[in-house]
Chains A and B, each alone.
Chain A
């Protein structure tokens, strides 16, 4: 079962994350938002980019909140695949802050690449220096604003790092079209950050295709 990182939903970081994804997505495109939560991002995309969009969400309360926003939402478990969606049917398929809480991230990402022309995957980077220090000095599973859960109740069962994702894409011949690094609710640019992004980035947004 996928739970939402609800606490994170109120932070500046998420607003920035929504802003970046909204800037990425083309106007009038067709969007599938997986694990769309309460539908805030999808609503923003429809209002600002005039997209035609549909959301998939597992949690009943979130589905109802999304429908109350006037969105088209299908309650479902993305771990079961996207078999109802045709190949390359969507211009953009979005999996925002959710990949780390799926049962089978590899299967989910392959399904997204099948259904979408471009795929947005964002996740908290577990190799961020503060996370490393937390584990190194506290000797406990790292917690932060973006990772607020205890080890025993976290929905984040498949945490990963930027380097893990590079390797994953390379092995499966997935094209990385764009990568956006965020730390403390700001986008970080520059050559230096790119080179050592895995160390300095708190959260990352990848645009991929296949």
Chain B
């Protein structure tokens, strides 16, 4: 446990004032689930906000109990002497608005009705999620902030850098994009359709029902997992091997290892995620476009004082390198300080949660530069 943040606790912040959402609707009050690692310095300038991907939560590092089998989702990157070095930095992680791990979302109780929101929950955007994170950061007394995230987390980092340009000192965008490709939106649409057409979905009011829309959510997750891998990664992992047998059964049960893998991923996902949250968050991701409201991506970055680090992965076809290059090119055109590295990896989009060694080297050096530690 020498380089672990150790035992951590998820905390909750209740905000009792209305939040005006991008849709025009209002969320009267809300909770934010968050964790912090390391100490905030006297100047309150060493905070790093890490932003989770589609189905992540506030638990980014360490364990909740010593007996926990799993550590936080970015444990390899957050801790003493790790990429986000908790001996130097105060790391903050929170659950995204609309999620289902402590921050208010469709599975939370609507104080006006005493029942779960379900589809009564307003449609949210990445911008709305950042407004909520800003409340948390202000509550923690942070003056200057560094933001970092992969995939959807990278989109939130971009949103931070553009909407809180005076506050963001550094912005790390990993395997991300300023806007989803048509293809990526299409995959999200398939996932949502799987949920919406599950006979147990019941128009989002399934929380008190005996049967939950598990099949739909699990199919959505299966589709997701295909997009997180790549052909090479799948070939390496499963090839065309049969699952626990050496010949096919000539029926429609699981034959191939890859089928078993997807089934397993789908099934384990439904135990930790809410179908409505999946609808809301994928929608927020689909809507996101950094340039919207600015005219161009270059203009969006105009007021930013941050130093930027952008990383992509060679085999990531969901958030391909050209999308990272678009961000980099706009930053260069806007005369911003930016570094970019396309990391060789056979792991597809998942690489940002797997290729720790290279990312650690780059992020450490980048943060040293930003904080004048080199």
The interface residues of chain B lying within 8 Å CB-to-CB of A68 are 361, 365
The interface residues of chain B lying within 8 Å CB-to-CB of A64 are 341, 358, 361-362
> Chain A: which residue is nearest B336 at the CB level?
A72
Contact with B along A185-209 (1 / 0, CB 8 A): 0000000000000000000000000
Q: Does A67 contact B (CB under 8 A)?
A: yes
- Among B81-89, B101-109, B366-374, the one that faces the other chain is B366-374
Q: Does A85 contact B (CB under 8 A)?
A: yes
Q: Does B329 contact A (CB under 8 A)?
A: yes
Q: In the complex, what distance in Å separates the CA atom of A54 from the CA atom of B332?
A: 10
Q: Does B344 contact A (CB under 8 A)?
A: yes
Q: When the two chains form their complex, are residues A72 and B374 in contact, meaning their CB atoms are under 8 A apart?
A: no
CB contacts under 8 Å to A, within B338-358, are: 338-344, 358
For the A-B complex with A69-B365, A71-B339 known, give 7 more contacts whose Cβ atoms are closer than 8 Å.
A60-B344, A67-B366, A72-B339, A73-B339, A73-B341, A84-B329, A86-B333
Q: How far does the Cβ of B297 sit from chain A's closest Cβ, in whole Å?
A: 11
Contact with B along A45-86 (1 / 0, CB 8 A): 000000000100000100110011111111110000001111
A60, A69, A83: residue with the most chain B Cβ atoms closer than 10 Å: A60
Q: Does B9 contact A (CB under 8 A)?
A: no
B333, B358, B365, B368: residue with the most chain A Cβ atoms closer than 10 Å: B365
| Interface size in chain A (residues, C-beta < 8 A) | 18
The interface residues of chain B lying within 8 Å CB-to-CB of A86 are 333
Report which A residues bind B (CB closer than 8 A).
Answer: 54, 60, 63-64, 67-76, 83-86
> Chain A: which residue is nearest B321 at the CB level?
A75
> Chain B: which residue is nearest A82 at the CB level?
B332
Q: How far does the Cβ of A51 sit from chain B's closest Cβ, in whole Å?
A: 14
The interface residues of chain B lying within 8 Å CB-to-CB of A72 are 307, 337-339
Q: When the two chains form their complex, are residues A83 and B338 in contact, meaning their CB atoms are under 8 A apart?
A: no
The interface residues of chain A lying within 8 Å CB-to-CB of B374 are 70
Interface residue tally of chain B, by bracket? 20 to 34
Q: Does B220 contact A (CB under 8 A)?
A: no
Q: How far does the Cβ of B56 sit from chain A's closest Cβ, in whole Å?
A: 26
Q: Does B328 contact A (CB under 8 A)?
A: yes
Q: In the complex, what distance in Å separates the CA atom of A55 from the CA atom of B280?
A: 41
The interface residues of chain A lying within 8 Å CB-to-CB of B358 are 64
Q: When the two chains form their complex, are residues A74 and B340 in contact, meaning their CB atoms are under 8 A apart?
A: yes
| Partner of A75 from B337, B340, B366, B369 at Cβ < 8 Å | B340
Q: When the two chains form their complex, are residues A70 and B333 in contact, meaning their CB atoms are under 8 A apart?
A: no
Q: In the complex, what distance in Å separates the CA atom of A137 from the CA atom of B93?
A: 69
CB contacts under 8 Å to A, within B274-325, are: 307, 325
The interface residues of chain B lying within 8 Å CB-to-CB of A74 are 328, 332, 338-340
Q: In the complex, what distance in Å separates the CA atom of A45 from the CA atom of B339?
A: 18
Q: When the two chains form their complex, are residues A60 and B343 in contact, meaning their CB atoms are under 8 A apart?
A: yes
> Chain A: which residue is nearest B328 at the CB level?
A74
| Partner of A70 from B325, B338, B368 at Cβ < 8 Å | B368
The interface residues of chain A lying within 8 Å CB-to-CB of B328 are 74, 84
Q: In the complex, what distance in Å separates the CA atom of A67 from the CA atom of B332?
A: 17
A-B contact pairs, 23 of them (CB 8 A): A54-B332, A54-B338, A63-B341, A64-B341, A64-B362, A67-B341, A67-B362, A70-B365, A70-B369, A70-B374, A72-B307, A72-B337, A72-B338, A74-B332, A74-B338, A74-B339, A75-B340, A76-B340, A83-B329, A84-B328, A84-B333, A85-B332, A85-B333
> Chain A: which residue is nearest B332 at the CB level?
A84
> Chain B: which residue is nearest A89 at the CB level?
B335
Q: In the complex, what distance in Å separates the CA atom of A54 from the CA atom of B331?
A: 13
The interface residues of chain A lying within 8 Å CB-to-CB of B368 are 70
Q: In the complex, what distance in Å separates the CA atom of A74 from the CA atom of B328?
A: 8
Q: How far does the Cβ of A181 sit from chain B's closest Cβ, in whole Å?
A: 34
The interface residues of chain B lying within 8 Å CB-to-CB of A73 are 339-341
| Partner of B342 from A60, A69, A71 at Cβ < 8 Å | A60
> Chain B: which residue is nearest A80 at the CB level?
B325
The interface residues of chain A lying within 8 Å CB-to-CB of B339 are 67, 71-74
Q: In the complex, what distance in Å separates the CA atom of A72 from the CA atom of B340?
A: 8
The interface residues of chain B lying within 8 Å CB-to-CB of A69 are 365
Q: In the complex, what distance in Å separates the CA atom of A123 from the CA atom of B59?
A: 54
> Chain B: which residue is nearest A86 at the CB level?
B333
Q: In the complex, what distance in Å separates the CA atom of A85 from the CA atom of B343?
A: 23
The interface residues of chain B lying within 8 Å CB-to-CB of A54 are 332, 338
Q: When the two chains form their complex, are residues B365 and A67 in contact, meaning their CB atoms are under 8 A apart?
A: yes
Q: Give the 8 A-B CB pairs with smallest separation, nearest first.
A: A84-B329, A84-B332, A70-B369, A68-B365, A70-B374, A74-B340, A67-B365, A72-B339
> Chain B: which residue is nearest A84 at the CB level?
B329
The interface residues of chain A lying within 8 Å CB-to-CB of B338 are 54, 72, 74
Q: In the complex, what distance in Å separates the CA atom of A85 from the CA atom of B329?
A: 8
Q: In the complex, what distance in Å separates the CA atom of A1 from the CA atom of B342?
A: 15
Q: How far does the Cβ of B301 sit from chain A's closest Cβ, in whole Å?
A: 13
Q: In the complex, what distance in Å separates the CA atom of A67 from the CA atom of B308?
A: 12
Q: How far does the Cβ of A189 sit from chain B's closest Cβ, in whole Å?
A: 39
Q: In the complex, what distance in Å separates the CA atom of A26 from the CA atom of B220?
A: 58
